Amino acid sequence: MKSQNILVVEGNKQIYDLLRSNFVSGDSYNVKRAGNRKEISEYLKKNEPGLIVAEISATGSQDNIEAIAAIKDKITLEIIFIIGAEEEKIIKQAKLLKPFGLFVKPIKEIELITAVESACTKNRLTKKLLENEIKFRLAFENAHDGIVWADIETGKIIKCNRAAQNLYEKTEEEILKGTLAELCKINNFNYNNKEFKEITCLDEPGIEAEVKTKLGKIRTVIVNTSADVVEGAKVIQVVFHNITGRKFAGEILKKWANIFEHAQWGIAVLEHENEIIDMMNPAFAQMHGYEKNELANASLNDVMAPGKRGELKRHIAESNKKENYNFESVHLKKDGSTFPALQSITTVNDANGNLLYRIINVLDITERKLSEEALTKSEERFISLFNDSPIPIWEEDFSGLKKYFNKLRSAGVSNFAEYFEERPDELKLCASYVKIIDTNKESLSFFKAVTNELPGNLPSFLMKESFNVYKEEMIAFAQGDTRYENEISFLDLAGNRKFVIIRVQATPGYEKTLKRILISFFDITERKNAEENIKASLKEKEILLKEIHHRVKNNLQIISSLLNLQSEYIHDEESRELFNDSLNRIRSMALIHERLYQSENFSKINVQEYIKDITNYLLRTYKRNQRSVIINVEIENVSFSIESAIPLGLIINEVVSNSLKYAFTDRGSGIISIKMHGGANGSFHLILKDDGVGMSESIDFRNTKSLGLQLVNSLVEQLDGQIELSRKEGTEYTIIFSVDEK
């Protein structure tokens, strides 16, 4: 519900404070003060008062009364004057403005509070009635049927709508110059004949008639007539429904009710001497659960709740003092249930001021009351959740930002990302359009601030360090999004680094205006610090592991060098070969640690590169024995852990060493191929082949005294694999193994 603006003019501090304490506890009232005409003028630039409470004294009274009179001429409002008893001249001037209340000092506080509350209520209802009057006028002007009002005594036409003008092909001025007698002067429809007057008085169903346009056209219409009082004058309302060209033989035309009959709110006319209902519209009967005939000769008290019936006389008495009187009450339905109602009493007097009758407008405000109650509860829940939330929440207003984006869009901007990228200073302008409405208690603790230390707006606070995130947020909302989330960091007001997930979301119902935006901060500082600690710890372990691999490689190199030196003192060729085989095995293991030391990944080694290192080393080692041996390596690009790579490397070392030593003794060249590819269920197939002389049939490679072949079989078992040997066209080993890399 829109709040009521109350302006206190020339009021002393006591009256102003009284109204502030009684009418500013919620959002329903807004009390301000103005001491002179200049301050009144400044107030009116931004506000429209519904009530002026004016304490008028001799000093400056004329100026303020004239200012109030000027306001009343422009807007709908109520006035309450508070004047000293000795100020008779001022009292007379004030009465000319027809104030809601005029109090002579001294005044009791309860009287003033009651009067202010009643005046505000009346102002709301008056504005509502004005809205209804506008709707009524719009309905009149835009009705599809022609409607004409005429003076009931003379037949002089006083009003007509556009449909009537179109029907008669005349301008409004031309119709208003005439009378009903002239307008309807054809065939069976004549203002002066008895039948027409009887129809008017009895409000009988419409009759079919023909009318003649200005251009001489004959049109068939259904005519409904009724008598009513409009703006204090008795009128005949004639409704013309044009059925020209749409007549069907034997069709029974329905009665076209007038605006009174189709009103959505209840309307009743009371006899001037009592509360007896003289006339009502269908809505009045229906809202109380009755048929119209059931309420014939009923009193208005009969449809009011028992607890409210005693108030009716007081309300009617009050209505005698003013032209329009509004109040809320509770009405009673036929089934015994009740509903809240907003009522207005309009007194209709004759030219001499004598009461003719009262018009009662009744509006069922059940839905409004339920909505107000639900809204109140919803607001209470929201405020409770907002204030007691364990996470920082800010409520902001993006409506200014929305207008700014619309302005850019109207200027032809469609790519906001490109626009803000080229104009970063525009983002500072965006920040000026974002305003903080409220912050919850947790925000103060989170930002290490007291209320007046919080910045004027959130963007200027956060964009210093999170400019790119802020830019993304602005682009998202400029493109029509109503929700944005990202991770940012900033320093709180105590200088502490905070890491948060910020969520910006339009409150449901405000997606189009962006009037209410909720900003939530989810603190992830501890998580971020833990992640940084883990990263630092991992970095330390990586350095340590790298150093271990480096030292293992160096130690193996030292062992290799020692064995190599020792071999210089061995003159027996067979013993020297044994030493060289051991050197090759050590070297194959050292290569793994060298690879891991140089790698970024200390848990895996690239098999393809590792095997190429081994074969290249073996070619260099046995170069003195073999002049031209080619080793072809076709290995899938896979990585194994050190537990799998070392036995695989040793197997290849043994088999390739044997081929280089024994396969090509009968010639100076040959080809060794190494192939490995993945198989089913995570298995791998390794094929080691040479095109040399082949292994003797007498040698059982599974049971041999050769240390190399024993080592190959042992390593295959270590890999949970199987090995097969083919002696055709050289020597070919096929090894199938599985690698558990979990």
Residue 551: what pLDDT?
61
Per-residue pLDDT tens over the stretch 519-553: 888 888 888 878 777 776 666 666 655 555 556 66
Pairing of strands 722-726, 517-523: unpaired
Q: Which of 307, 310, 364 is closest to 340 using CA atoms?
A: 364
Residue 507: what pLDDT?
86
Using an 8 Å Cβ cutoff, are 210 and 219 in contact? yes
In this prediction, residues 160-169 reach a mean pLDDT of: 87
Least confident of 230-244, 454-468, 517-531, 674-688: 454-468
* Percent of the chain residues topping a pLDDT of 90: 9
State the maximum Cα–Cα separation within the chain, in Å, rounded to a whole number: 154
Higher pLDDT residue, 336 or 230?
336
Those residues whose C-beta lies under 8 Å from the C-beta of residue 521, and which sit 6 or more positions away, are 391, 392, 393, 443, 446, 500, 501, 502
Q: Which of 174, 177, 180, 148 is closest to 161 using CA atoms?
A: 148
- Using alpha carbons, list the distances in angstroms from residue 728 to 150, 692, 725: 124, 10, 9
In this prediction, residues 580-607 reach a mean pLDDT of: 66
Please confirm whether the linkage preceding 106 is cis (ω < 30° from 0). yes
Residue 675 has pLDDT above 90, yes or no: yes
Higher pLDDT residue, 569 or 95?
95
In this prediction, residues 456-464 reach a mean pLDDT of: 52
Residue 617: what pLDDT?
76
Residue 445: what pLDDT?
77
Residue 235 has pLDDT above 50, yes or no: yes
Query: Residue holding tokens 């193996």?
Result: 556
Q: Phi, psi (5° rounding) for residue 556?
A: -65, -35
Residue 586 has pLDDT above 80, yes or no: no
Q: Phi, psi (5° rounding) for residue 358?
A: -120, 140
Per-residue pLDDT tens over the stretch 43-79: 888 888 888 888 877 665 667 777 888 888 888 888 8
pLDDT-derived band at 248 (thresholds 50, 70, 90) equals: very low
Count of residues in the chain? 742
Structure tokens at 627: 């002049």
Of these ranges, 302-306, 316-320, 642-646, the one predicted with the greatest mean pLDDT is: 302-306
**C-alpha to C-alpha distance for 173 and 185, rounded to whole angstroms:** 19
Per-residue pLDDT tens over the stretch 488-524: 887 777 778 888 888 999 988 888 899 988 888 888 8
- Using alpha carbons, list the distances in angstroms from residue 734 to 112, 353, 619, 676, 689: 107, 122, 22, 10, 9
Locate all alpha helices (DSSP H) within 599-723, ordered by sequence: 607-621, 642-658, 707-718
pLDDT-derived band at 736 (thresholds 50, 70, 90) equals: very high
- 3-state secondary structure string, 566-620? HHCCCCCHHHHHHHHHHHHHHHHHHHHHHHHHHCCCCCCEEHHHHHHHHHHHHHH
Residue 317: what pLDDT?
82
- Using alpha carbons, list the distances in angstroms from residue 46 to 52, 64, 244, 432: 15, 19, 54, 21
| Start-to-end Cα distance in the chain | 66
Using an 8 Å Cβ cutoff, are 516 and 494 in contact? no
Per-residue pLDDT tens over the stretch 367-379: 888 887 877 777 7
If phi > 0 it is left, if psi is from -120 to 50 it is alpha, else beta; for residue 452 that is alpha
Residue 453: what pLDDT?
54
In this prediction, residues 145-163 reach a mean pLDDT of: 84
Using an 8 Å Cβ cutoff, are 323 and 347 in contact? yes
pLDDT-derived band at 689 (thresholds 50, 70, 90) equals: very high
Q: Which of 103, 113, 111, 124 is closest to 4 using CA atoms?
A: 124
Least confident of 139-143, 287-291, 432-436, 606-610: 139-143
pLDDT-derived band at 258 (thresholds 50, 70, 90) equals: low
Residue 414 has pLDDT above 80, yes or no: yes
Structure tokens at 515: 């009037």
Residue 257: what pLDDT?
42
- Using alpha carbons, list the distances in angstroms from residue 712 to 244, 265, 443, 593, 607: 111, 101, 69, 21, 18
Strand partners, 480: none
In this prediction, residues 460-477 reach a mean pLDDT of: 75
Residue 457: what pLDDT?
44
Residue 35: what pLDDT?
78
Residue 585: what pLDDT?
67
Higher pLDDT residue, 437 or 288?
288
Q: Phi, psi (5° rounding) for residue 382?
A: -60, -45
Residue 11: what pLDDT?
62
Residue 254: what pLDDT?
33
In this prediction, residues 242-266 reach a mean pLDDT of: 51
**C-alpha to C-alpha distance for 63 and 480, rounded to whole angstroms:** 51
pLDDT-derived band at 403 (thresholds 50, 70, 90) equals: very high
**C-alpha to C-alpha distance for 362 and 306, rounded to whole angstroms:** 17
Kindly report the average pLDDT of the chain as a whole number: 78
Residue 673 has pLDDT above 90, yes or no: yes
Please spell the DSSP secondary structure of 456-498, one letter per residue: S-HHHHHTTT-HHHHHHHHHHHHTT-SEEEEEEEEE-TTS-EE
pLDDT-derived band at 200 (thresholds 50, 70, 90) equals: very low
Q: Which of 397, 483, 495 is closest to 447 using CA atoms?
A: 495
Residue 557 has pLDDT above 90, yes or no: no
Residue 520: what pLDDT?
87
Strands, E assignment, 109-260: 146-151, 157-160, 207-212, 218-230, 233-242
Structure tokens at 145: 């049927």
Residues 203-231: b if buried by 16+ CB within 10 A, e if exposed:
eeebbebebbeeeeeebebbbbbbebeee
**C-alpha to C-alpha distance for 705 and 651, rounded to whole angstroms:** 17
pLDDT-derived band at 230 (thresholds 50, 70, 90) equals: low
DSSP for residue 323: S
Per-residue pLDDT tens over the stretch 600-646: 565 677 888 878 887 887 787 777 555 688 889 999 888 888 788 87
Residue 253 has pLDDT above 70, yes or no: no
Higher pLDDT residue, 11 or 469?
469
Per-residue pLDDT tens over the stretch 279-302: 788 889 999 999 988 887 788 888
Structure tokens at 288: 């109380």
Residue 251: what pLDDT?
34
Task: Calculate ∠ Cα 361-97-10, nearest 5°.
Answer: 115
Indicate the burial class of 726 (C-beta count within 10 angstroms; 0-12, 13-18, 19 or more). middle
